[in-house]
Amino acid sequence: MIKDYFLNEIETAIEKAIKDNKLGEMKEYKRGTLSTERPKNADFGDFAINVSSLARYAKMAPPMIANTILEYINKDDNEYTVVAGFINFKTGKKILVNSVKEIFEKDKNYGKPENVKTEKILLEYISANPTGPFHIGHGRWAAMGSVLANLLKFYGHEVYQEFYINDAGSQINKLGNSLAIRIRQELGEDVDFPTDEIERKNYYPGDYLIPVAKKYLETHKGLPEDVKELSDFAKKEMEDLQKALLDNFRVHFDNFYSELSLHNSGKVEKCVQKLKDSGKIYQKDGADWFKSSDYGDDQDRVIKKADGSNTYLTADIAYHIDKLERGYDRLINIWGADHHGYVARVKASIEALGYDPNKLEVLLGQLVNLVINGNEVRMGKRKNMVTLEDLIDEVGVDATRFWMSMRNIDTTLDFDIELAKTNSDENPVFYVQYAHARACSILRNATEEKFNTETGEKTPAPLAKAELEELINNYTAETILPTLETAKKLILKLEEYKSMIKTSAETRQVYTICRYVQELAAEFHSFYNANRVISDDKEMMKARLALVIAVKKVLNNALDLLAVTAPERM
């Protein structure tokens, strides 16, 4: 990476200067003290390092320090200038030319970080109840989770994606009872869900169980004796529905882990026993409490209710222990911000059971607001519910994935349906895809002969297909020299892909990919408008075609991570 190269040059120079006693009272330099930044004003250079912070050690004025350091640098064909305490760097031809070459050489692997520590990661996300269709909020975790998985894999980690099915507990009975009412309605009975608000909360009155009731009656005559049969039937239907939607949304899990199986395997009981053995359980008001406050939680938590049943937390503890026992270096969970209180208690349980709580990394995502006609529609529980499926039908998979991934996980996402639907410059997805389609179009035109419909004349293709193949397969660094000056900003943006991938993966912030891809598209559109690619000057044409190809490759790689399509035409 250019910025790392630059930083290394500076740091090496500092070490040499110190050896020669040229940096005043400075006797040692610790690498990593300085860092590169992007100059606010591009006239200064491509990168800059501020050495002012060394002034207090060296007891020298910052400009003096900067100039001294410069004397120890092998500048090659790069340009270094000093302004106040800043050392500015302008990238020379050699580096620029080689960074394009790298794109051709590495191709699909361009941007994969080298010499980084990789881990075995279990990424858990969505983990919805199988009691209904996904709502719009699940879409955010689905998109972000799958992009993060792609990104972490590309980074070099081993990633296992898991969906925890909350298929135990009281909500499953509710589901069965709700289906019973729908079935009776299908059978012509005059029944309905309770209108009393509190009573109604024991049911799922959504329309989505109507087709399930119809389907049930295709193979059954009437209501079963045990409502559990209905619960199981509905649960299976909901799971199938969810899985089909995930598939369509390009989200692919390695495993769906059933909470019920956790109970049945005895792992939950075993966990509770272990907690008891460790003396971290006490009784109060007829319930068993876990002393989580000993591990940083703000209060203790019930682990077994007075009626003898487990809480949700109990199973979740067992689940996390199970994940750790499966041998992962790191557990990453994506949870909605409404679950943030859970982090402390789960970590507490992990620690109480003798595991390292730092292995668990919880990414808390703020929630999603739907914006329709400029008005926010609150995603309250079970009302105004817009399903993810409806949203995807409305705006498409590409736009939904992009919009759900494009914001920092810490900010509430406003999903503007109208905007996401437009095929215009207001829609970033379109802007980026258009750049890719445009690159493809140029490449097509470069090797196609033209036919003038009025004169009937044919003009030969500007470039033979074989020549284009040769350009791609035997790419030489010098190819882009003719257009180097006009393409510098574009090349630097292409080069930035590498550092973007690294920080995006390390900070788990996938929105940076969305931002990058918009920036790259902008640079490309700008380049396109300022430089004609297909022309009579063959060397110039090849140089610019090479850049078009490079842009196409990088856009492709980035869109692959987002699992958004890169269209050849639009």
Partner RNA sequence: GCGUGCGUAGCUCAGUUGGAUAGAGCGUUUGGCUACGAACCAAAAGGUCGGGGGUUCGAAUCCCUCCGCGCGUACCA
CB of 441 to RNA, least distance (A): 3
- Binding piece for RNA, criterion CB under 7 A, among 15-23, 188-196, 468-476, 530-538: 530-538
Kindly identify the residues of this chain, within the stretch 436-475, that bind RNA according to CB under 7 A: 437-438, 441-442, 445
Residue 488 near residue 47, CB atoms below 8 Å: no
Q: Which of 228, 141, 140 is nearest to 180 (CA)?
A: 228
Residue number, 472 or 522, with CB nearest to RNA: 522
Kindly identify the residues of this chain, within the stretch 40-59, that bind RNA according to CB under 7 A: 40-41, 44-45, 48, 50, 52-53
Residue 353 near residue 316, CB atoms below 8 Å: no
Give yes or no for residue 504 binding RNA (CB under 7 A): no
Residue number, 208 or 434, with CB nearest to RNA: 434
What is the DSSP secondary structure assignment for residue 310, as one 8-state letter? B
From 342, 402, 475, 497, residue interacting with RNA (rule: CB under 7 A): 342
Residue number, 221 or 383, with CB nearest to RNA: 383
Give yes or no for residue 312 binding RNA (CB under 7 A): yes
Q: How far apart are CA 481 and CA 485, in angstroms?
A: 8
From 337, 372, 384, 537, residue interacting with RNA (rule: CB under 7 A): 337
CB of 290 to RNA, least distance (A): 11
From 311, 447, 486, 556, residue interacting with RNA (rule: CB under 7 A): 311
Kindly identify the residues of this chain, within the stretch 413-432, that bind RNA according to CB under 7 A: 413-414, 423-426, 428, 430-431
Give yes or no for residue 317 binding RNA (CB under 7 A): no
**Edge-to-edge strand list for the sheet holding 368-372:** 375-377, 368-372, 413-416
CB of 220 to RNA, least distance (A): 26
Kindly identify the residues of this chain, within the stretch 111-170, that bind RNA according to CB under 7 A: 129, 166, 168-170
CB of 186 to RNA, least distance (A): 27
Q: How far apart are CA 70 and CA 325, in angstroms?
A: 54
Residue number, 159 or 404, with CB nearest to RNA: 404
Q: How far lies 160's CA from each of 108, 371, 372, in Å? A: 22, 34, 36
Q: How far apart are CA 543 and CA 216, in angstroms?
A: 65
Give yes or no for residue 32 binding RNA (CB under 7 A): yes
Residue 122 near residue 330, CB atoms below 8 Å: yes
- Between strands 120-124 and 330-336, the pairing is parallel
User: What's the angle, vertex CA 164, arms to CA 161 and CA 170, rounded to 5?
Assistant: 170
- Binding piece for RNA, criterion CB under 7 A, among 383-391, 402-410, 479-487, 556-564: 402-410
From 254, 408, 458, 537, residue interacting with RNA (rule: CB under 7 A): 408
Give yes or no for residue 261 binding RNA (CB under 7 A): no
Give yes or no for residue 260 binding RNA (CB under 7 A): no
Residue number, 192 or 539, with CB nearest to RNA: 539
Kindly identify the residues of this chain, within the stretch 81-100, that bind RNA according to CB under 7 A: 83-86, 88
What do you get for the CA distance between the two ends of the chain, in Å?
34
Q: Is 165 exposed, middle or buried (0-12, 13-18, 19+ CB in 10 A)?
A: buried
Kindly identify the residues of this chain, within the stretch 173-212, that bind RNA according to CB under 7 A: none
CA atoms within 13 A on the CB side of 298: 4
Residue 260 near residue 167, CB atoms below 8 Å: yes
CB of 421 to RNA, least distance (A): 12
- Binding piece for RNA, criterion CB under 7 A, among 245-253, 267-275, 303-311, 550-558: 303-311
DSSP string for 255-304: EEEEHHHHHHTTHHHHHHHHHHHTT-EEEETTEEEE-GGGGT-SS-EEEE
Residue number, 248 or 423, with CB nearest to RNA: 423
CB of 222 to RNA, least distance (A): 29
Give yes or no for residue 306 binding RNA (CB under 7 A): yes
Give yes or no for residue 529 binding RNA (CB under 7 A): yes
Contacts with RNA by CB under 7 A: the residue count is: 85
Give yes or no for residue 397 binding RNA (CB under 7 A): no
Give yes or no for residue 503 binding RNA (CB under 7 A): yes
Q: How far lies 283's CA from each of 301, 354, 541, in Å? A: 11, 22, 79
Residue number, 29 or 312, with CB nearest to RNA: 312
Kindly identify the residues of this chain, within the stretch 275-294, that bind RNA according to CB under 7 A: 284-287
Residue 491 near residue 104, CB atoms below 8 Å: no
Give yes or no for residue 339 binding RNA (CB under 7 A): yes
From 228, 411, 476, 538, residue interacting with RNA (rule: CB under 7 A): 411
CB of 443 to RNA, least distance (A): 8
Residue number, 246 or 346, with CB nearest to RNA: 346
The pair phi, psi for residue 547, each rounded to 5°, is -70, -40
- Please state the separation of Cα 332 from the chain's center in Å: 13
- Amino acid letter at 411? T
In 3-state terms, what secondary structure has residue 109? helix
- Please state the separation of Cα 285 from the chain's center in Å: 45
Residue number, 277 or 307, with CB nearest to RNA: 307
Residue number, 190 or 457, with CB nearest to RNA: 457
Alpha-carbon Rg for the chain, nearest whole angstrom, is 30
Q: How far lies 446's CA from each of 271, 337, 542, 570, in Å? A: 66, 51, 10, 19
- Binding piece for RNA, criterion CB under 7 A, among 136-144, 319-327, 336-344, 558-566: 336-344
